[in-house]
Structure 1
Amino acid sequence: MSAEQSKLLELLFPDGYPSEWDYNNHVQDYLSKLGTYKIEDLTREPTKLKDEANTIQEQIQELAVTNYKTFIETAECSRELFKQFNVIENKLDELLDDIPKFEEKCRDFGEKSTEINNLRKLNSLTLTRNAQLLEILELPQLMNSFISDSLYEDALELAAYVRKLYNKHPDIPIFKSILDDVNKAWLLMLHQLLSQLRQELALPKCLQIVSHLRRMEIFTESELRLKFLQTRDCYLKECLKTIPRDDVNHHLTKTIEITRVNLFNIITQYRAIFNDDEHGPLSTIKNQNVNQNVIFYSWINDKIFEFLTTLEEDLKGVSSIETILDQCMYFGLSFSKVGCDFRSLMVPIFTSRISKNFCHSTQQAVKNFESEHRKTKNEDPLHTPDSLLEFYPLAEFFEQRTRSLNKLRLCAPIAVINDVVASLQSSLLFISKSLLVLYSQEQQAFSVNSKDAFTRLCMSFTDDLIPYIQKCLHIIFPPSHVASKLGVNVQSLQQEGVSFLDKNSLVEPIKHLLPAKIEPDISIDNIENKKDNVNVSDFDKNVTDEKDKN
């Protein structure tokens, strides 16, 4: 609107007019039209406008009456629109407030959709390589299958592949899970291999199992040696446990056989598997400060002493020591091939047992003599029985000594000679003192015949029993043989009393009861000249003849 028009409106409406008229084209056209009117037209213009206004008012009223329903509906519609516009305005305000959040959500959605899209691409790629992935996922199952079928070589290669795969992709969780499952199967394989070492195995199988254990790299070299000996020791102990203990002879014989065979096999296997040239003391001291040979020989030492303990225990009830001795000596000799000859450790055990057996039998003979001697004392002295006249106590003692000497002759180590002589000396001295006691108690009651019989009893003891037992000792322990072993002469043996009974001390208690006569010659020359004519096996026959006479 021009300035003139604006000024005109100010003149027409001094009280002011709506500001929107400045932009209303109709108002501008009407003002332009007023400018073309004459005074008369301008004078009539208010009346005209008033008439037009009345006419329009009438038309409006008529229109309102005619279309009042429409107006009502329009008003209601307007009101509703107004309300809706208010709601829309509120919603728009809320929308404006939420638009920043919406933008942030859109960005998050965009990022997530990108990730989803990447995952979708990854899944698509996974689907295309399903076969290869399935092979990887089945690796633990394949490992278990190899172990169940004892395909340990394949299991070792598969485990190495899985570890290499994990080391290449340590950030992938599935590889970590597969490695854990394979490690569990790895321990199962270790248990199976060690269980096989506790069973009967040939050398090639042992080599194979230990080779697998080495490749597993679970044990150091020293630990592997120790574990091998522990497992093989379990097998040896299980074999020994199966031997019945009802019969001592059978138990000891089988123990010797099983220990010899299995221990020799274990030593052979150990030396074939663990090469001390490559893993000898120098290398072990340098690498681990451990002498691996100590492990091996300490174990062998323990096994030998366990065997010696069993031997010493079972020898108490063995009937044939010479048979056991032969087997044990062969056992010890066979182990000399592997540098473990332990025969010298068995000698004290056998000599001790032989000496104890002989001493025990001697004590038993003395007890029997004492028993028979007491029976004789209880007899009526005026009627001496035939048993006393035939010297039955001496015959019983002589028979038991014969059995003991015959048994000793089968296995007579020189180391027991002093014990044997001491046992015989003590038993004969006991008989001599018993005869003296008998004479002291019963001499007043003796008749002439009884006294003569008692004198002959003492003479039989001194002239027959003692010399004959001395001859038996020298048959079992020839003085020349004993002297050569000890590195002395025979005269020195006689002076020291080695294999010689001290007849003077034995006869001393009853010497005054014997008639005066020349002592029998039991010098060493006489014994050596006559020993070929004496047979210990004739002892039993002589005693039997004496009993037949009774």
Structure 2
Amino acid sequence: MDHKRFLSLLYPEGYPAQWEDNPKIRDYILKLGTYKIENLVREPDRLKHEAASLQEQIQELAVSNYRTFIETAECSRELFSQFSSIESKLDMLLSDIPKFEEKCKEFGEKSGDINEVRRLNSLTLSKSLQLLEVLELPQLMNSFINDGLYEDALELAAYVRKVYSKHSNIIIIKSIVEDVDKAWLTMLHQLLTQLRQDLSLPKCLQIVGYLRRMQVFSETELRIKFLQTRSCWLDECLRNIPKDDISNHLTKTIEVTRVTLFNILTQYRAIFNDDEHSPLIGDSSKNQNVIFYCWIKDKISQFLMTLMEDLKDISSMESILEQCMYFGLSFSKVGCDFRSQMIPIFISRISENFNESVAQATKNFENNMEKFTLIDKIHPSIPWKTKSEDQMQPPDSLLEFYPLGEYLNNILNILNKLRLCAPVAIVNDVVSSLQNSLIVIAKALQVLYNQEQQALTQNSKDAFTRMCMSFADDLVPYIQKCIHIIYPPSHVAEKLGVTVQYLHEDGITFLNKQVIIEPMKHLLPAKVVPDPSLIREDDKMEKSDEGNDNEDKDWDNDRKDEK
């Protein structure tokens, strides 16, 4: 019989489940199966007796070992409490295990990152020399620029940009490129500063070559920047010329402008290689040529302004004119002849200087006439009507009247200055200015006579008559001769393409004597025509010479005093 069934028969109300698998209970049931009936009947009593015996033994054991039982109980109780505590802590541990797993995972990740950083640090340490070279690239760039090693600087900048194109995501590379770009701008500034200094052609070619390789400016912008920087050098040279002496300042300005402009022009042509005779292709070529010629025009206009300002304080212009014409002639070789622009400036200044000088001479004459008097004037002892062998010798008759003599000296000084640089274009201004001045003198003689005629003696009246005759018959014709020496009518007629007779009819290079003496005409003695048979031989010779002179035939009529 199965022991489980047997147990269910023995304990119909149920039994503990662990009895089913208990080997002792199984052995005991097997043993009961071998008993006879007598033994089975006695078995309950035996079990009771054995149970009582065991109970007594237990009691004796408990009495004899009660301390041990107490300690065991206490130990059990302590173990129970410890087990309870352990159980609660195990519960807590079980609840914290997921968090612990999460923390361990985080720690693992961080440990992995730290390990990667450590690996990178180790790699960095092993590559420290190469990294140091990369980090020192900006410093090396600055060193190249400060030492003027622009070729090396350009190669280094190209290398840095190549590295950045491959590793643009690396922050340190980006920082290095930014530092190199700052040094790049410093290099650009240094190159432009050098273009503002005195440079030879090879040096200019080298600097512009660097600027081209930098690719900061387009070709047109590079041309403009080159002309701007070289203009700064030209302006600096002009500012350094001392202005104490105007003549020296203008002379130096002409020389410096000519030499410096020609150097800049040569450098520009060599660097940018513009061929004036080659056909222009596209608007860009036209614009580039316009830029250059506009710059040349601006520099020439600047020079002409300086010339115009300085000529106001310069009286002698022949050397200045010669230098300016040479300046313009030298630039005609490069298609920039500007002599035609200087001619009006010189003509205007020469004409103004001449008019101012004549006006000053006229004013001096008027001042002298205020101090001059004819009262008690006696006949001079000088032979003022003698014939001089030198036709250009000033009339001796003017020595008797110092206002006229001083006036003629002033006019001769003015004409001598004009003779050194006498433009044909101002001949009418010269003649007009002298004629107006002579008219003022004629009016001054009339005023002198009106003021002193009441107090004049016969000798004073004769002296005044001689003074008027000296003015009309000696001073005016002599000034006319001086004009014709400076402006020979034949030369002027050739330049104008007309005849000398036409010049005389239009009054070109000729003074109008009738207009000049009109204010004092009534003060001159009546003209007496002498008997030809009474003319002295020397007078005949003089008439013959003067008759052959077509230029001065209107100035040969001498007035004779009535004896």
Q: TM-score range by the shorter chain?
A: 0.7 to 0.9
CA distance in 1, matches of 2:324, 2:464: 49
Q: Offset at 1:188? A: 1.2
Q: Offset at 1:34? A: 4.8
Instruction: Say yes or no: does 1:56 pair with 2:58.
Output: yes
User: Could you report, residue by residue, the CA deviation over 1:54-102 in whole angstroms, capped at 9, with x for unpaired residues?
Assistant: 331332343223553454344334323322332222222332x436xx2
User: Could you report, residue by residue, the CA deviation over 1:12-65 in whole angstroms, capped at 9, with x for unpaired residues?
Assistant: xx4x54443344334444444455343123234224313322331332343223
Paired position in structure 2 for 1:247: 245
SS of equivalent residue, structure 1 residue 291: helix
Aligned residues: 518
Residue 466 of structure 1 aligns with an amino acid whose one-letter code is V
User: Could you report, residue by residue, the CA deviation over 1:133-157 in whole angstroms, capped at 9, with x for unpaired residues?
Assistant: 3333332222222212211122212
Paired position in structure 1 for 2:316: 320
Structure 2: gaps spanning 5 or more residues: 381-397, 530-541, 554-563
Paired position in structure 2 for 1:533: none
Q: Offset at 1:265? A: 0.7
Residues 281, 291 of structure 1: 8 Å contact kept: no
Paired position in structure 2 for 1:92: 94
Residues 144, 152 of structure 2: 8 Å contact kept: yes
Paired position in structure 2 for 1:83: 85
Q: Offset at 1:112? A: 5.0
CA distance in 2, matches of 1:461, 1:9: 187
Q: Aligned match of 2:479 in 464, 469, 483?
A: 469
Residues 351, 415 of structure 1: 8 Å contact kept: yes
Residue 4 of structure 2 aligns with an amino acid whose one-letter code is A
TM-score (norm 1): 0.86
User: Is the alpha carbon distance of 1:25 and 1:167 closer, same or farther for their aligned partners in structure 2, counting shifts above 3 Å?
Assistant: same
Paired position in structure 2 for 1:535: none
Q: Offset at 1:428? A: 0.5
Residues 368, 397 of structure 1: 8 Å contact kept: yes
Residues 312, 349 of structure 2: 8 Å contact kept: yes
Residue 516 of structure 1 aligns with an amino acid whose one-letter code is A
Instruction: Say yes or no: does 1:292 pair with 2:288.
Output: yes
Residue 514 of structure 2 aligns with an amino acid whose one-letter code is N
CA distance in 2, matches of 1:389, 1:475: 23
Paired position in structure 1 for 2:349: 353
- 163-172 or 342-351, larger mean C-alpha shift: 163-172
Q: Offset at 1:369? A: 1.2
User: Could you report, residue by residue, the CA deviation over 1:309-331 in whole angstroms, capped at 9, with x for unpaired residues?
Assistant: 11111111124211111111111
User: Is the alpha carbon distance of 1:165 and 1:196 closer, same or farther for their aligned partners in structure 2, counting shifts above 3 Å?
Assistant: same
Residues 465, 523 of structure 2: 8 Å contact kept: yes
Greater fraction helix = 1
Q: Aligned match of 1:195 in 170, 185, 193?
A: 193
CA distance in 1, matches of 2:126, 2:19: 76
CA distance in 1, matches of 2:222, 2:399: 77
Q: Aligned match of 1:409 in 413, 419, 426?
A: 419
Q: Offset at 1:360? A: 0.5
CA distance in 2, matches of 1:5, 1:30: 11
CA distance in 2, matches of 1:144, 1:386: 96
Residues 167, 173 of structure 2: 8 Å contact kept: yes
Residues 284, 292 of structure 1: 8 Å contact kept: no
Q: Aligned match of 1:145 in 143, 146, 150?
A: 143
User: Could you report, residue by residue, the CA deviation over 1:374-428 in whole angstroms, capped at 9, with x for unpaired residues?
Assistant: 223xx5x754599999322211211111111111111111111111111101110
Q: Offset at 1:223? A: 0.8
User: Is the alpha carbon distance of 1:167 and 1:94 closer, same or farther for their aligned partners in structure 2, counting shifts above 3 Å?
Assistant: closer
Paired position in structure 2 for 1:548: none
Q: Aligned match of 2:549 in 526, 531, 536?
A: 526
Residues 281, 293 of structure 1: 8 Å contact kept: no
CA distance in 1, matches of 2:305, 2:227: 20
Paired position in structure 2 for 1:276: 274
User: Is the alpha carbon distance of 1:513 and 1:231 closer, same or farther for their aligned partners in structure 2, counting shifts above 3 Å?
Assistant: same
- 134-143 or 316-325, larger mean C-alpha shift: 134-143
Paired position in structure 2 for 1:539: none
Residues 34, 42 of structure 1: 8 Å contact kept: no
Structure 1: gaps spanning 5 or more residues: 531-550
Residues 3, 29 of structure 2: 8 Å contact kept: no
Q: Aligned match of 2:448 in 435, 438, 442?
A: 438
CA distance in 1, matches of 2:287, 2:528: 72
Q: Aligned match of 1:362 in 358, 365, 379?
A: 358
Instruction: Say yes or no: does 1:42 pair with 2:44.
Output: yes
Residue 414 of structure 1 aligns with an amino acid whose one-letter code is V
Residues 432, 507 of structure 1: 8 Å contact kept: yes
Residues 471, 527 of structure 1: 8 Å contact kept: no
Residue 47 of structure 2 aligns with an amino acid whose one-letter code is E
Residue 46 of structure 1 aligns with an amino acid whose one-letter code is K
SS of equivalent residue, structure 1 residue 338: coil
Alignment of 1:5-404 (within 5 A): 5-11=6-12, 14=13, 16-35=14-33, 36=35, 37-66=39-68, 68-95=70-97, 97-98=98-99, 102=101, 104-277=102-275, 282-285=280-283, 288=284, 291-376=287-372, 382-384=375-377, 390-404=400-414
User: Is the alpha carbon distance of 1:529 and 1:495 closer, same or farther for their aligned partners in structure 2, counting shifts above 3 Å?
Assistant: closer
SS of equivalent residue, structure 1 residue 339: coil
Q: Aligned match of 1:457 in 462, 467, 482?
A: 467
CA distance in 2, matches of 1:329, 1:308: 13
Tell me how large the CA RMSD over aligned residues is: 2.9
User: Is the alpha carbon distance of 1:263 and 1:278 closer, same or farther for their aligned partners in structure 2, counting shifts above 3 Å?
Assistant: closer
Amino-acid identity (%): 58
CA distance in 2, matches of 1:94, 1:369: 129
SS of equivalent residue, structure 1 residue 282: coil
